[in-house]
Amino acid sequence: MHNVSPEEASFVVETASGRFPQKIGPRKYLVRGRTRARRALQVIFLVLEDDEVDVELLDLVERMMVEQGNEVVYVIHSRDLTDTEKRRI
């Protein structure tokens, strides 16, 4: 994922604002935003259906969130924004 940590990608997805997330396909979304450290990223993710989630692979907090009905997202791509893209967020 272009040297983007899961924590950075998750933060950008969770704090999406403005015109993001943008739907780019069935259950597929694009988000552009900044990490806590102000790194500008693009993240593309899928929203998983309940039967696509292997709860055995989740940690305790993630399992609790699923049990509470929260959506599960799966990051399929992430990268730094170009200078031109940074000016648009």
Query: Which amino acid belongs to residue 84?
Result: T
Q: DSSP assignment, residue 87?
A: H
Cβ pair 47, 29 in contact under 8 A: yes
Q: Which residue, 44, 40, 42, is CA-closest to 74?
A: 44
Average pLDDT over the chain reads 92
45 DSSP β-pair partners: 29, 75
CA distance 6 to 72: 14
Q: What is the pLDDT of residues 54-63, one digit of tens each?
A: 888 888 888 8
Q: How confident is the model at residue 1 (pLDDT cuts 50, 70, 90)?
A: low
Instruction: Read off the pTM.
Output: 0.84
Residue 46 tokens, joined: 């899928």
